[in-house]
Amino acid sequence: MDSIKILHCADFHFDSPFRELPGSLGEKRKEDLRETFGQMVRVAQEENIHLLLISGDLFDNERVSRMTIDYLRDCLQEIPQIRVFIAPGNHDPFYERSYYRLVDWPENVHVFQDEGEKIELCELGVCVYGRGFMKPHVRESLLQGFTVADPAKLNLMVLHGDVVGTGQDSDYNPLTTEEIAASGLDYLALGHRHSFSGINQAGDTFWAYPGCPEGRAFDELGEKGVLLGTLRKGRCQLSFRGIGKRKYYEERIEISGCQTYEQIAAKIRAAVEGLEPEKNLFRLVLSGALPGDFPFYPAVLTEKLQQDFYYVQIIDETMTQVDPQLLANDYTLRGLFVQKALARSAAAQEEAERRKAELALKYGLRILEQGEAGIE
């Protein structure tokens, strides 16, 4: 064939614990991951792809539920016409008790091990290479010294690894662009990094990280998905396709001047309009100056917003607004404390020190006026 159509994904991390989420929400997110995998399989069917390449960390660790295993196997059995190639990563290495070894995978699924196998698909004119992690850390390049056997064919490789600069180290299969260029591959399907890398080229070899298909925490923000498209000799026509069920967002919102929780909530609703808060997960970092007689508690605001958000986390970085003119003749304990706190903030050389002074002012005023700091 002149060209083939592929779907490239990586880093599902099935059965991640989702420890930062409360109650049953973590279990719901585990189900979201399974649903995203099902959505990916549907896309593969609709787009009539030839190859599905999974570049490692399909599982998050050695503890995987039977439900997840059964679901994945059922999904892959639904696409017998699509060849599926998996290269285990650092989170799910192919070791003695690995699920890759224990599960009876469908016939269309091939899991690479450490030997560096080549699978020739004569009907497609394609050779698919791959190597898997056999342990959590691989400190020497699995691509070192590799070259394709038949440059005339369309040559692909599925691999989990970390592209580094010359002379740099990594615990996760350090690869250099020089090794990629020398490989003779037409496309190197990588996994490990959880953000889409863009389509890169080293020599005649195209390579990419698709990123994770579903964000799992607030360090995996925004749209997540897979790579989809056609490959032919000398040409890579892959594009990013968002398939994640939910997105993580972190939004910074300035709330100076607000005097009630309802006013703050209104600002927040305006800031997240169009981002589907009822579906996605949000971390809201609130900044600005609030009146000294407004004892702001994030828990109160969180409860007010619950009906608008699937999940919301409030980070309070506000400071207390103080009128210097009122302090000029205030020789009470309160006045002296505020003056010293403001002076300490103004004299701070580093941001962390300034923030400490602001927090001391906020919570010190609460203690003086209410008898408690109210720290959550």
Helices 351-370 and 333-347, packing angle to 10 deg: 170
Angle at the Cα of 137 from the Cα atoms of 133 and 141, rounded to 5 degrees: 70
Cα 232 to Cα 198, 320, 354, 358: the distances in Å are: 18, 62, 57, 60
Q: Which CATH class is domain 3-242?
A: alpha beta
- Helix, strand, coil proportions of the chain in percent (round to 5)? 25, 25, 45
- Distance, in Å, from the CA atom of 209 to the CA atom of 203, rounded to the nearest integer, reads 17
Q: Mean pLDDT of all residues in the chain?
A: 92
Instruction: With beta carbons less than 8 A apart as the criterion, state whether 220 and 212 touch.
Output: yes
Q: Region 316-332: what's the mean pLDDT?
A: 73
Closest CA to 56 of 26, 98, 24, 118: 98
Burial class (CB in 10 A: 0-12, 13-18, 19+), 121: middle
Q: Which tokens in the block code for residue 226?
A: 């897979």
- 78-126 tens-digit pLDDT: 999 999 999 999 999 998 888 898 889 999 999 999 888 999 999 999 9
pLDDT of residue 21: 93
Q: Could you tell me which residue, 43 or 61, shows the higher pLDDT?
A: 43
Confidence check: pLDDT of 228 > 90: yes
C-beta contacts of 43-47 below 8 A and 24+ residues apart: 43/7, 43/226, 43/228, 43/241, 43/243, 44/7, 44/79, 44/82, 45/78, 45/79, 45/82, 47/5, 47/7, 47/228
Q: Is the pTM of this model over 0.75?
A: yes
pLDDT of residue 29: 97
- 88-98 tens-digit pLDDT: 999 999 988 88
- Distance, in Å, from the CA atom of 197 to the CA atom of 226, rounded to the nearest integer, reads 11
The ranges assigned to domains in the chain are 3-242, 248-370
| pLDDT grade for 292, boundaries at 50, 70 and 90 | confident
- Distance, in Å, from the CA atom of 314 to the CA atom of 303, rounded to the nearest integer, reads 11
Name the amino acid, one letter, at 19. R
pLDDT of residue 334: 73
Confidence check: pLDDT of 358 > 90: no
Between strands 126-131 and 117-121, the pairing is antiparallel
Contacts of 149 (CB under 8 A, 6+ apart): 118, 127
Query: What is the separation, in whole angstroms, between the first and last Cα of the chain?
Result: 63
Q: Which tokens in the block code for residue 243?
A: 């398939």
Contacts of 108 (CB under 8 A, 6+ apart): 76, 79, 80, 81, 82, 83, 84
Between strands 281-291 and 248-254, the pairing is parallel
- Distance, in Å, from the CA atom of 368 to the CA atom of 350, rounded to the nearest integer, reads 27
Q: Region 147-171: what's the mean pLDDT?
A: 95
